[in-house]
A and B are shown apart, each in its own frame.
Chain A
Amino acid sequence: EIVLTQSPATLSLSPGERATLSCRASQSVGSYLAWFQQKPGQAPRLLIYDASNRATGIPARFSGSGSGTDFTLTISSLDPEDFAVYYCQQRNSWPPWTFGQGTKVEV
């Protein structure tokens, strides 16, 4: 089973600042990595898929990069609505599909 480790666990930033979130895989997942955003009481929302492709309707301030074992989600300038928990997920080696433990972006 591929383990995804996200860091940091919590990121404390202010609106307008740049956020950089990391996801590291225990073995290579190629480019088969996605990022999800989840706000309290809501279902997760797909942001980035295949490491660097924005999903439909996702603002350009969200970008993804990386391949193999190291991946980054960058939010170029935090909007107040971006404060949430972010999860990475891999599908290179499954089952099981695995998720990271999440990074909380807080004010």
Chain B
Amino acid sequence: EVQLVETGGGLFQPGGSLRLSCAASGFTVSSNYMTWVRQAPGKGLEWVSTLYSGGSTYYADSVKGRFTVSRDNSKKTLFLQMNSLRAEDTAVYYCAIEYKTTWLDYWGQGTLVTVSS
């Protein structure tokens, strides 16, 4: 059974850094496209970043140069390194994969990141 579990959220200061993790089970991390999507409180969904199975990475303009997506195949984990945090980065961060389709058909439960002084 495919499962995705995000961890690493919490309260962080503007300008600070954190790393989110997404622990995967039930599939091969290296073989699937993996994506981060965020949702600010009371707002809609925003695509953040995608890591292709071949290693290519893509970022939303709002996070380009500040966030870095990576994975550890041996640990079956996807990461999102978030630097130079801003208040507008406050959101629930979900990891999701394309598994049965070429769409985001499996999602984790999300982890809340709050950026505030």
Q: Which A positions have Cβ atoms within 8 angstroms of B?
A: 34, 36, 38, 42-46, 49-50, 53, 55-56, 87, 89, 91, 94-102
Contacts and interface: CB of A to CB of B under 8 A. Distances in A.
Nearest to A100: B44
B105 interface: yes
B68 to A, nearest CB: 15
Given A34-B103, A56-B100, A95 B58 contact: yes
Interface of B: 35, 37, 44-47, 50, 58-61, 94, 96, 100-105, 107-110
Contacts of B58: 94-96
A62 B68 CA distance: 37
A99 B104 CA distance: 12
22 contacts: A34-B103, A34-B104, A43-B107, A43-B109, A45-B107, A46-B101, A46-B103, A46-B104, A49-B101, A49-B102, A49-B103, A53-B101, A56-B100, A89-B103, A95-B59, A96-B58, A97-B35, A97-B47, A99-B44, A99-B45, A100-B44, A102-B44
A44 B45 contact: yes
